[in-house]
């Protein structure tokens, strides 16, 4: 270990140690550079301030992609789960999703252990208040105590702390999270550097004492008996699992909320930031969906060694005394004791339209942004951005090519492309519907898509890459074998198929049989002794099933990727002056000037850009007139 840290000299400074900051710091450190990781509270590293859960629709794919690239969220989740559950298991593979209920305290401890066991990371509890810039390049930062740190790259992952302000009813105070101070001063520094900030709002439900809950009045929600995991690494721990529970709001709940809307900071105009569209507060649900007689509320454990229990779906900023009435109106919670009240938090974010696809600032070289500071919502979205920002901070230091994932390669690429090409107005959440290539970008094949990239970067070691190559070889060989394996229409075979409401009157290939809706690989194992003896791992044969069953759809989507790729070939010069281009609208000129797309494909995805304007640009680029 060299002694540069003695003089506060580092390669990279990461500001914030949430999910984005941890991924950024660990990526840089694993790649061999010295990192100063600054956090407001070292006891809250990788804290899950809202729901102690990871994954779910679209988000599970992000976690698998993080793992395939060499990130750690999947590993930490697998090591600390209380429950694992596949959602949408009866639907198509594009929307199936793994979700884990995590032990919040264990998750934080495990991540902190990874941080503290990396000799390239120097952890510090402080608030960064100012960035140091020379000639348009980052050279360091200054903390609240006036201490200066030098670095050629800075990654900002401030979460909800940047100028954070918490609301409980009409009472408000400066804080980023309940019990934690806000990050004050950094926004002013960004403004002086020409970087714009705006306001967003999010919130979290109350926590109650599980000893005061009557679970007998609720519907149990167990996890899966056959466990799935997020990480592609081997030897995942098998832990005891615990259930969640379901209750519902009722007319009394709704009446209490309606009668107290005048005490809501949102409805009184005290909060200016826009809240998450896909995770509204309970008062928003009652107002917006007034005809709904009830709303599902999930009761979820926060950990094994705590009484704290999370009331999912009950986010609110109403006063604490009103919250008590609301919660005690729910079946099973009539005697609930509230440990922590729900609250809303308004905070500054930096619209990502000011960054490139590498997540580096367009104004300041070496300054990167990741997570909620870019206008997103969710741990998984934050971690994915943090990983990319960290990788690219390393690439910047080494004058290497930036990692800019395409929409067709990953949900991570889709997420970042949406952020930097669209003017996001509310907290962005990854959804399967946001990807036009979602059948290709499944959670089961994230390793196939991104592990070679992670290995090339240096975050996936040779041993793990060898396991990946062996798996891909096995998938290919077994798929080919099934395409050649003939299943005869014998009485014995049809007796087995009858259990699954199937029947064949002629011999057919095993792959052809798998295409039937009621047949899967396990049934082929039951029918064919050779298949049974091969003992193919579940993650392998499940991927084979998807490839065979959806072969036609997958090929069609691959053709769409190739078609979309044609616009990617039209490169737009970096120094183009859009104001001088005739025959495109003034609105388009303004949007193109702000975003500075690198290709015609990126330009076509900018909100408000007209197809006719894209056609004009295509003609000019084809003729080399711009």
State residue 581's pLDDT score.
Answer: 86
Question: Average pLDDT for residues 306-321, to the nearest whole number?
Answer: 96
**pLDDT above 80 (res 174):** yes
* Residue of 369, 387, 344 lying closest to 424 (CA atoms): 369
State residue 90's pLDDT score.
Answer: 81
Whether 299 contacts 247, CB under 8 Å: yes
Cα Rg for the chain, rounded, in angstroms?
26
Residue 134 is classified by DSSP as E
Q: What share of the chain has pLDDT > 90, as a percent?
A: 78
State residue 298's pLDDT score.
Answer: 97
Whether 290 contacts 251, CB under 8 Å: no
CA atoms of 331 and 320, how far apart (whole Å): 19
Give every CB contact of residue 588 below 8 A, 6+ residues apart in sequence. 578, 608, 609, 610, 613
CATH topology of domain 462-556: Arc Repressor Mutant, subunit A (1.10.10)
Partners of 100 in the β-ladder? 54, 84
State residue 3's pLDDT score.
Answer: 77
Residue 345 is classified by DSSP as E
- Give the tokens for residue 324: 């008590």
- Give the tokens for residue 570: 């039209």
State residue 123's pLDDT score.
Answer: 98
Band of pLDDT at residue 332, cut at 50, 70 and 90: very high
Three-state secondary structure call for residue 53: strand
CA atoms of 46 and 368, how far apart (whole Å): 19
Check if CATH label 3.50.50.60 holds for domain 10-46+109-203+347-437.
Answer: yes
CATH class of 569-622: mainly alpha
CA atoms of 159 and 18, how far apart (whole Å): 7
Whether 385 contacts 370, CB under 8 Å: yes
- Convert the pLDDT of each residue in 541-588 to its tens digit: 999 999 999 999 889 888 888 877 777 888 888 888 888 888 888 888
* Residue of 265, 275, 273 lying closest to 199 (CA atoms): 273
Per DSSP bridges, beta strands 296-301 and 244-248 are antiparallel
- Convert the pLDDT of each residue in 486-545 to its tens digit: 999 999 999 999 999 899 999 999 999 999 989 999 999 999 999 999 999 999 999 999
State residue 1's pLDDT score.
Answer: 63
Question: Average pLDDT for residues 350-374, to the nearest whole number?
Answer: 97
- Convert the pLDDT of each residue in 447-489 to its tens digit: 999 999 999 999 999 999 999 999 999 999 999 999 999 999 9
Strands (E), 146-278: 148-150, 153-156, 165-168, 171-174, 198-204, 207-209, 219-221, 244-248
State residue 591's pLDDT score.
Answer: 84
CA atoms of 451 and 254, how far apart (whole Å): 49
Question: Average pLDDT for residues 262-285, to the nearest whole number?
Answer: 83
Q: Given CA atoms 36, 37, 38, 43 in this order, what sign does their dihedral have?
A: negative
**pLDDT above 90 (res 399):** yes
What is the SS3 assignment for 519-559? CCHHHHHHHCHHHHHHCCCHHHHHHHHHHHHCHHHHHHHHH
CATH topology of domain 207-343: Elongation Factor Tu (Ef-tu); domain 3 (2.40.30)
- Please state which of the ranges 233-242, 362-371, 605-614 shows the lowest mean pLDDT: 605-614
Q: Provide the Cα torsion 435, 439, 443, 447; round to 10°.
A: -100
**pLDDT above 80 (res 611):** no
Band of pLDDT at residue 403, cut at 50, 70 and 90: very high
**pLDDT above 70 (res 309):** yes
- Give the tokens for residue 471: 């798996």
* Residue of 605, 579, 574, 577 lying closest to 362 (CA atoms): 574
Query: What are the helix (H) ranges across 372-514?
Result: 379-397, 411-421, 446-457, 462-484, 491-498, 510-514
Average pLDDT, the chain: 93
What is the SS3 assignment for 70-128? CCCHHHHHHHCEEEEEEECCCCCCCCCEEEEEECHHHHHHHHHHHHHCCCCEEEEECCE
Q: Given CA atoms 556, 559, 561, 567 in this order, what sign does their dihedral have?
A: negative
CA atoms of 55 and 48, how far apart (whole Å): 13
* Residue of 29, 304, 308, 278 lying closest to 178 (CA atoms): 308
**pLDDT above 90 (res 152):** yes
**pLDDT above 80 (res 2):** no
Band of pLDDT at residue 57, cut at 50, 70 and 90: very high
State residue 566's pLDDT score.
Answer: 78
What is the residue extent of each domain of the chain? Answer: 10-46+109-203+347-437, 207-343, 462-556, 569-622
Q: What share of the chain has pLDDT > 70, as a percent?
A: 100
Whether 193 contacts 133, CB under 8 Å: yes
**pLDDT above 90 (res 72):** yes
Whether 591 contacts 608, CB under 8 Å: yes
**pLDDT above 80 (res 91):** yes
Whether 164 contacts 201, CB under 8 Å: no
CA atoms of 515 and 498, how far apart (whole Å): 16
CA atoms of 469 and 473, how far apart (whole Å): 6
- Give the tokens for residue 251: 């007319």
Q: Given CA atoms 435, 438, 442, 448 in this order, what sign does their dihedral have?
A: negative
Whether 206 contacts 342, CB under 8 Å: yes
Instruction: Report phi then psi at 576, rounded to 5.
Output: -65, 140
State residue 365's pLDDT score.
Answer: 98
- Convert the pLDDT of each residue in 94-151 to its tens digit: 889 999 999 999 999 999 999 999 999 999 999 999 999 999 999 999 999 999 999 9
């Amino acid at each position: 270990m060299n002694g540069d840290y003695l003089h506060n000299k580092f390669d990279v400074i990461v500001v914030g140690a949430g999910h984005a900051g941890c991924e950024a710091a660990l990526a840089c450190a694993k790649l061999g550079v010295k990192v100063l990781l600054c956090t407001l509270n070292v006891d809250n590293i990788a804290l899950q301030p809202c729901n102690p859960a990871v994954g779910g629709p679209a988000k599970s794919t992000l976690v698998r992609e993080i793992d395939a690239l060499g990130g750690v969220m999947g590993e930490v989740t697998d090591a600390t789960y209380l429950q694992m559950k596949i959602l949408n298991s009866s639907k198509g593979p594009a929307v199936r999703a793994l979700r884990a209920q995590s032990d919040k305290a264990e998750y934080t401890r495990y991540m902190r252990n990874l941080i503290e066991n990396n000799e390239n990371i120097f952890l510090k509890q402080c608030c960064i208040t100012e960035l140091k810039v020379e000639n348009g390049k980052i050279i360091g930062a200054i903390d609240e105590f006036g201490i200066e740190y030098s670095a050629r790259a800075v990654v900002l992952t401030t979460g909800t702390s940047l100028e954070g302000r918490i609301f409980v009813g009409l009472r408000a105070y400066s804080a980023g999270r309940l019990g934690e101070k806000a990050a004050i001063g950094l926004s002013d520094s960004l403004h002086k550097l020409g970087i714009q900030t705006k306001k967003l709002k999010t919130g979290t439900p109350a926590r109650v004492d599980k000893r005061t809950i009557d679970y007998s009045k609720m519907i149990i929600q167990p996890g899966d008996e056959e466990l799935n995991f997020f990480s592609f690494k081997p030897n995942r721990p098998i832990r005891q699992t615990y259930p969640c529970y379901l209750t519902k709001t009722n007319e009394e709940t709704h009446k209490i909320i309606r009668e107290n809307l005048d005490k809501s900071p949102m409805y009184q105009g005290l909060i200016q930031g826009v809240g998450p569209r896909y995770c509204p507060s309970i008062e928003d649900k009652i107002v917006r969906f007034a005809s709904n007689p009830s709303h599902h509320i999930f009761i979820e454990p926060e950990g094994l060694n705590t009484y704290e229990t999370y009331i999912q779906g009950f986010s609110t900023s109403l006063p604490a005394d009103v919250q008590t009435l609301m919660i005690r109106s729910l079946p099973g919670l009539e005697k609930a004791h509230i440990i922590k009240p729900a609250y809303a938090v308004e905070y500054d974010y930096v619209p990502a339209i000011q960054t490139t696809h590498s997540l580096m600032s367009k104004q300041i070289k070496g300054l990167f942004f990741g997570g909620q500071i870019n206008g997103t919502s969710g741990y998984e979205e934050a971690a994915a951005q943090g990983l990319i920002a960290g990788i690219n901070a390393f690439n910047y230091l080494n004058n290497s090519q930036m990692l800019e994932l395409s929409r067709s390669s990953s949900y991570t690429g889709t997420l970042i492309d949406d952020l930097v090409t669209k003017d996001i107005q509310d907290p962005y959440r990854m959804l399967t519907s946001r990807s036009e290539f979602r059948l290709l970008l499944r959670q089961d094949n994230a390793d196939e898509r991104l592990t070679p990239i992670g290995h090339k970067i240096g975050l996936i070691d040779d041993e793990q890459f060898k396991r990946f190559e062996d798996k891909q070889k096995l998938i290919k060989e077994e798929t080919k074998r099934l395409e050649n394996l003939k299943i005869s229409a014998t009485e014995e075979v049809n007796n087995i198929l009858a259990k699954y409401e199937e029947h064949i009157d002629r011999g057919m290939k095993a792959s052809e049989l798998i295409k039937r809706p009621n047949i899967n690989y396990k049934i082929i194992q039951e029918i064919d002794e050779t298949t049974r003896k091969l003992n193919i791992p579940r993650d392998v044969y499940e991927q084979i099933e998807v490839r065979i069953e959806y072969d036609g759809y997958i090929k069609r989507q691959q053709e769409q990727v190739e078609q979309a790729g044609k616009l990617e070939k039209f490169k737009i010069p970096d120094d183009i002056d859009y104001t001088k281009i005739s025959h495109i609208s003034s609105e388009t000129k303004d949007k193109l000037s702000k975003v500075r797309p690198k290709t015609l494909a990126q330009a076509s995805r900018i909100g408000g850009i007209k197809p006719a304007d894209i056609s004009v640009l295509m003609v000019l680029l084809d003729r080399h007139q711009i």
